[in-house]
Amino acid sequence: MAKYSLLTIIVLCTIACKQKEDQISKKPADKKATFKHYELHGKIKGLKSSYVRLIKFPGDTIELVDIPVINETFNYIDSFIEPYLVNINTAGELHELHQGDSYFTNIGSHKLAELLLQPGIINISGTAAKYDSIQVDAGSSNKVIKQYLKEDEQLAISWATLKASYDSIKKNPPVSQHKQLAADLNKIAEQRIILLKNYVKQNSNSMTGALLPNFCMLHSVLKKEDYLEMYNVLSADIQKSYYGQSVLGNSK
């Protein structure tokens, strides 16, 4: 199943972006499903883009929606069946990374916010140039996501700094120092896994608990048993969700 990162998402497209919306391998909606409506209302100081781009992750599809910005505000109304992740970026251009491939990335844009959808009105406010200032009024789940990202980023920075030291002495290292740095790197990686698992456990009854393992930055180090452990702590209802089933799929 697809794996994406909350911090550095590369958009997988099979067709070029349309003016209003792209939908990638979208499945027909279940006729018996209940749709929940939501409204996005953004007021971002210093937002100079002519539009903002929504990158939506409803199950195994990706949808791109461009919303016009007028006087630093934007509005959008839609519906969903099951809560899913949405990233809101400033305007950018889609550029193909490899000739002939269907991999695109947003060039010249930056992330304003990410949120887990909920029914009703979702207000987004803050200053465009300051990511930490952006407030999303969409329940506690979005605060949890942002806090997890912040804590994980701190560990990731520590790991990257230590890795630079490790690489600098790799060619002719003192054996003891080399082993210690390697052990310290492994320790930080383990701390990041523990942090993720703690957040999943603390949010096992909400979609947030299933979302984090799918969009974290740890796919290269997580093992199948790690995914299974996280799946098993999720509530029965969350296990049945797309994100829950994706966690289970990564354990196989």
Diameter of the chain measured on Cα atoms: 65
pLDDT of residue 108: 60
Structure confidence by residue, pLDDT tens digits, 153-186: 999 999 999 998 888 876 666 777 878 899 999 9
Could you tell me the pTM of the whole model? Answer: 0.79
Q: Is 56 in contact with 86 (CB distance < 8 Å)?
A: yes
CA angle (123, 76, 108) in 5-degree steps: 90
Write the pLDDT tens digit of every residue in 191-212: 999 999 999 999 999 999 999 9
Domain coordinates in residue numbering, the chain: 11-137, 143-249
Q: Which residue has the tokens 């506690």?
A: 140
Please tell me the CATH code under which domain 11-137 is placed: 2.60.40
Through-space distance between the first and last CA atoms of the chain, rounded to whole angstroms: 11
Residues 95-129: tens digit of each pLDDT: 444 434 444 455 567 889 989 999 999 999 999 98
Which structure tokens are listed for 155?
Answer: 């560990």
Tell me the C-alpha distance between 38 and 111, whole Å: 21
Which H, E and C letters describe 60-106, residue by residue? CCEEEEEEECECCEEEEEEEECCCCEEEEEECCEEEECCCCCCEEEE
Does 30 score more than 80 pLDDT?
no
- Does 44 have pLDDT greater than 50? yes
Distance CA 235, CA 251 (A): 17
Q: Residue 123 pairs with which residues in a beta bridge?
A: 41, 137
